[in-house]
Amino acid sequence: MHYELYIDVFFFTNFMMDSLLLFAVRAMLRIPARPWRVFLGGALAALMTCVAIVMPFQAGLKYLLFYALVPALMVWVGLGVRQRRDFAKAAALLYVAAFLWGGIQAALRPYIRTAGLFFAVSVASYYVFAGCWKLVTGVQRQQRQICAVRIFTGAGEYSLNALLDTGNVLKDPVSGEMVSVIGKETAMHIFQGMTTRKMAELGLRYIPYRTVGGEGVLPIVRVEKMCVQVDGERWVTRPVIGISGQKIEERQEYQMILNPDIVGGAKK
């Protein structure tokens, strides 16, 4: 039997589906990956799929490309995930999302007659999938909301996850502003490579704090701005950030404890 394959249509179809899958995993894990990175991951995955189809590779190598290398490339490039534990979680969710998506497409395929309808159904499936996931995890997010945060220091930009903690009432006694807290390792990544002048502009000083475990002093700095992803983008100008000498969270699900009053007082 003879088949005709239009490689441009095949590439565009795979690019769209791979990008939608990456956006779904990005939303489920709240990964702070930029849209251009997601589209780049989808494009590279679609390109590798086209190469595997066109080139006369052995069946075993093609299976390796389709089910191992392409998903790994999507997670590595499209989501920017580097840590082994997060990588495994993102890859597993990508497989689950692809399986469910394939089931939806197979169920609706007899009713899809045109390419335009196929693309419309694919996009609609993404919103249905994302909506179901949001509904299932809604209660948990109310109890423990983790959001994406971007910090701008004037010398660069750093993306991380933050826990919106209603128990964080730490306040700068001098300015009266609320203080969010990051760990020492995260601070080293954020402020590495900054010049002495830039570091001086951060205005490093110390404030007292009290916890259940005792009292002490906490170094705080003031960065240029911060973008918090909570019900859209909320920008905070010159926020105050404390630097803890301990890890914020052992499993590294989040790297900042965000003061909820900062989000409530921020403007979109």
Q: Are residues 160 and 246 located together in one domain of the fold?
A: yes
pLDDT tens per residue across span 16-59: 888 888 888 887 777 878 889 999 998 998 888 888 887 777 87
Q: Are residues 149 and 138 located together in one domain of the fold?
A: no
Q: Are residues 136 and 197 located together in one domain of the fold?
A: no
Task: Tell me phi and psi for residue 171, to 5 degrees.
Answer: -135, 145
Q: Are residues 46 and 82 located together in one domain of the fold?
A: yes
The predicted pLDDT at position 194 comes to 72
In three-state secondary structure terms, 240 is strand
Task: Tell me phi and psi for residue 174, to 5 degrees.
Answer: -85, -55
Does 129 map to a domain?
yes
Q: Are residues 78 and 127 located together in one domain of the fold?
A: yes
Does 1 map to a domain?
no
Q: Are residues 129 and 205 located together in one domain of the fold?
A: no
Q: Environment class of residue 67 by beta-carbon count within 10 Å: exposed (0-12), middle (13-18) or buried (19+)? A: exposed
Does 27 map to a domain?
yes
Average pLDDT, the chain: 78
pTM exceeding the 0.85 threshold for the entire prediction: no
Q: Are residues 118 and 12 located together in one domain of the fold?
A: yes
Per the model's pLDDT, the better-predicted residue between 79 and 30 turns out to be: 79
Does 244 map to a domain?
yes
Cβ(256)–Cβ(180) below 8 Å:
yes
Q: Which of 142, 171, 196 is the last residue of a domain?
A: 142
Q: Are residues 133 and 177 located together in one domain of the fold?
A: no
Does 2 map to a domain?
no
Dihedral sign, CA of 156, 162, 165, 168? negative
Does 233 map to a domain?
yes
When divided into structural domains, the chain yields a total of 2
Q: Can you give the CATH number for the domain in which 168 is found?
A: 2.40.70.10
The pairing of strands 179-183 and 256-258 is: antiparallel
Q: Tell me the C-alpha distance between 191 and 166, whole Å.
A: 27
Give whole-number Cα distances, 138 to 42, 87, 125, 145, 264, in Å.
28, 24, 19, 9, 19
**Nearest 10 degrees: CA dihedral of 57, 58, 62, 64?**
-120
Q: Are residues 12 and 129 located together in one domain of the fold?
A: yes
Q: Are residues 138 and 149 located together in one domain of the fold?
A: no
Our measurement of the distance from residue 178's CA atom to the centroid of its chain's CA atoms, rounded to an integer in Å, reads 25
Q: Are residues 155 and 261 located together in one domain of the fold?
A: yes
Q: Are residues 136 and 237 located together in one domain of the fold?
A: no
Q: Which of 119, 142, 165 is the last residue of a domain?
A: 142
pLDDT tens per residue across span 139-189: 455 445 788 899 998 778 889 988 887 667 788 888 888 899 998 888 888
Contacts of 224 (CB under 8 A, 6+ apart): 152, 153, 154, 238
Segments forming the whole domain that contains residue 99 = 7-142
Q: Which of 142, 157, 177 is the last residue of a domain?
A: 142
Does 162 map to a domain?
yes
Which tokens is 125 given?
Answer: 């499936």
Does 222 map to a domain?
yes
For the cut 50, the answer to whether the pLDDT of residue 267 exceeds it is no
Which tokens is 94 given?
Answer: 């990508």
